[in-house]
Structure 1
Amino acid sequence: MTDDGEHRLEDALADALDARDAAAFVHAGSTRDPTIRYCRPSLAAGRHAIAFDGREWHVRSADAVSTHPADALTTRLADAGLAGTVLTPARIPHDAALYLEDAGFTLASSDVVARTRAAKTDAERERIATAQTAASAGVRRAASTLADATVVDDRLTFDGEALTAARLRTAIDEAIVSAGGFPAGNTAISVAGDGDVLRPDDAIVLEAAPREPGGYHGGLVRTFVVDGDGGRERRAHVGVTHAFRSAAALLTADARSVAAVEADLEAEVRAFGFGDDDGIETRVTGVGLESRERPVRGSHEVALGAAVRLDASVRVDDGRVRVADLLEVGEEGVDWFEAPSRSLDPTRALE
């Protein structure tokens, strides 16, 4: 996090402490925990307990203390004369909570860090853009493979071997790594019928949400059809892509709730003749140190500074047409993060 981001977080924490008449904000966990990573990004890998008392940070790390980091931190807070209520995330480790309670502190849940994380700094947006570039490299590698595939016995083949979902997923992950990202176990291929056999005219859904070295994620979904004959799949695709334009216009006009943006996506898909029996699915979430983070609930607001993932799909026969992209909400409206074409034709993704 940049100095500006750290100051913004500290200001938000100080305001929350004043409003709740609390002594400190406290959390514990490993550096894989997004809250730990966001609050103290420079910590070495391992287990840590952290606190902010409105003026300064207190940190105790497993490799530097003889007891549990939360136990050592609790002693530090007590020695500093702090007492009473401490704010914590809703999911603080049970053992850390016990150490605090045994020392006489009262725990109160607060989402102040999650709320602060929802608005991204310039540095965070750059990290998300880096992750999205890696996701795009993965999807383009898959598109290139599909574009060069041939049809043998009603199956797609590549380099003389059957092209399977597993093989395509490996190609995506290899391209993500080559682009400097980490697949993070988030790459998935979905296809109608036999989940591993790829055939011409099938809607092949590719999903990637890699992270960059700093831990920030991208998020990208594309649907490709090799030798498709149009029809219902193309109409579904037009509905989904028009829905993205409509949602972007909605967010350009004003801040909206997650529920309102999801409803707008669905309404646009329905406008193209799809209904309750067509399995329309829409989802809007933030993206950052987690592949899906605040704003994530229907009541959460997609406001200035947010980086969000729009995801919409509709069932076509026994498959689906699905697209997901990332956008950021800025002072001048919304901007899409870099990504390949949304076309069903894999060759278009290579342009």
Structure 2
Amino acid sequence: MTGSPEPAVGSTDQPHSGLEAVWTAVDDAGAVGFVHVSERGDPNRRYLTRVDGPDRETALVILPGTKNQPPQAVYCVPRGVVSDVTGFKQVTSDTEISRQIEGRPPTTATGQQVRAVLADRLGTTVSDGTLLVPRTLPHDAAVFLQEAGYELQSTPAVTTARATKTSAERDCLRAVQAAAADGLARSEAVLAASEPVDGRLVVDGQPLTAERLRRQINTELAASGVAPADNTSIEADTDVADRLPAGEPIRLTVSPRGPHGYHGHLKRTVAVDSEGGWERRAFIAAEAGLQAAQREIEPGVDISTVQGEAVAEVGAYGFAVTPDTDQSTQGRATATVHGVGLSTHEQPAVGAESQLRAGAVIAVDTGVVDPARGTIRLGTLFVVSEEGPETLIEYPTSLTPVDRTE
């Protein structure tokens, strides 16, 4: 099983920026513009600019078009990093947008620069207009804009747009998910080669710890051209420095980040030399829960329905479906469903933008939690489409680890 890295930055497959969604919201609201201020690591900034960095506070000002000029997007950055973000001007889009980069001196606050950009582009006579902003706009930037006379109106335009992925974004997700599958396959191969000694695992005569296995996965991810991003985890009923247990569930989670910032998501549970019994029943229930969730995935369905059906199906195998049920002899059925993209958890999500739309990519995790016996979890990514749900990358489920690298 070989994963391919995401398209290289600058390739024709690079995702378009999310500027169109914002200027459309500006136009619909009759606003004079949109302002986004953030630090590096903000996925909304990556979505709007398609630039990774800089490690400084930046702002993006988006202005609607006029009869004589197209919409404008001005990237406001510290003067010393202007040369590092020139890629912003090279990003393609479906609509003509004038992209500009403006540097600011060290003594100028981000909010001051934004206010100056607005005054220059709009003129001081329209400083009483409405600006659309995300709810996360820093307080100091808001103060600068309000003092200039602008009325600030919160908009979910960016997070709403991110909930639906374009074809290029789905390609990025598919590529990083393939790399996640390679990492998971590597871990299974190591576990399949391990042997139980005194109830703990060894491989090649050396103790097999969670940390050792995690490093094996991360090495494979790096070879596939993606970053582990501190999202690789090995969970079992043992300390991270101790040998992994034989005959008990070992949970493997791989959620790497690709070159364009998109994340994979794969979860599997395996047990070496398991006697079956409870683990087997819980594993089969988790598999059935994934299948039940998949049957519910279609445009227009609320994400809570998908989650609820998954829990109900797991519960049908004799596990509790409500938190207040006595779990001492049953264990509890669990399921989570949420969007994945530039963040490991994003919209659509239960309680916010929860209705599925065609193009969304969602993570579905199902399982059983039992304080006395352990935890079983399975998870993968699905694409929502009018033709039916698509598993982004197929990866087998098996309670017994299998060497899939051959």
Which of the five TM-score ranges fits, normalised by the shorter chain? over 0.9
Counterparts in 2 of 1:348 and 1:262: CA distance versus 1, 3 Å:
farther
Counterpart selection for 2:104 from 65, 70, 88: 65
Distance in 2 (alpha carbons) for counterparts of 1:109 and 1:212: 30
Shift of 1:183: 0.6
Shift of 1:333: 1.2
Counterparts in 2 of 1:11 and 1:29: CA distance versus 1, 3 Å:
closer
Shift of 1:135: 1.3
Counterparts in 2 of 1:263 and 1:349: CA distance versus 1, 3 Å:
farther
Higher share of residues assigned helix: 1
Superposed, which structure 2 residues align to 1:20-35 within 5 Å?
Answer: 20-35=29-44
Superposed, which structure 2 residues align to 1:172-321 within 5 Å?
Answer: 172-194=217-239, 196-252=242-298, 254-275=299-320, 276=325, 277=327, 278-299=331-352, 300-316=354-370, 317-321=372-376
Which residue is 1:49 aligned to?
Answer: 59
Distance in 2 (alpha carbons) for counterparts of 1:180 and 1:250: 34
Superposed, which structure 2 residues align to 1:88-127 within 5 Å?
Answer: 88-127=133-172
Distance in 2 (alpha carbons) for counterparts of 1:33 and 1:194: 33
Distance in 2 (alpha carbons) for counterparts of 1:11 and 1:185: 32
Shift of 1:19: 4.0
Q: Give the alignment's TM-score, normalised by structure 1.
A: 0.92
Moved over 6 A (4+): 1-5
Which residue is 1:330 aligned to?
Answer: 385
Distance in 2 (alpha carbons) for counterparts of 1:121 and 1:151: 47
Counterparts in 2 of 1:43 and 1:134: CA distance versus 1, 3 Å:
closer
Structure 2 residue runs without a partner (length 5+): 1-9, 65-70, 80-102
1:346 aligns with 2:385: no
Paired amino acid for 1:279:
R
User: Which region of structure 1 is more displaced relative to structure 2, 235-244 or 310-319?
Assistant: 310-319
Distance in 1 (alpha carbons) for counterparts of 2:231 and 2:13: 31
Paired amino acid for 1:72:
Q
The sequence identity of aligned pairs, in percent, is 34
Distance in 2 (alpha carbons) for counterparts of 1:201 and 1:282: 24
Q: CA RMSD in A?
A: 2.2
Shift of 1:304: 0.6
Paired amino acid for 1:334:
P
Structure 1 residue runs without a partner (length 5+): none
Q: Which has the larger radius of gyration?
A: 2
Paired amino acid for 1:65:
R
Shift of 1:95: 2.7
Shift of 1:14: 3.4
Q: Is the 8 A contact 1:62 1:68 kept in 2?
A: no
Q: Is the 8 A contact 1:30 1:48 kept in 2?
A: yes
Counterparts in 2 of 1:170 and 1:10: CA distance versus 1, 3 Å:
closer
Counterparts in 2 of 1:52 and 1:6: CA distance versus 1, 3 Å:
farther
Shift of 1:76: 0.9
Paired amino acid for 1:60:
C
Q: Is the 8 A contact 2:188 2:402 kept in 1?
A: yes
Paired amino acid for 1:291:
T
Provide, for residues 62-94 of structure 1, a one-character-per-residue CA deviation record: whole Å limited to 9, x for no partner.
Answer: 132112333212211122224322111111223
User: Which region of structure 1 is more displaced relative to structure 2, 45-54 or 225-234?
Assistant: 45-54
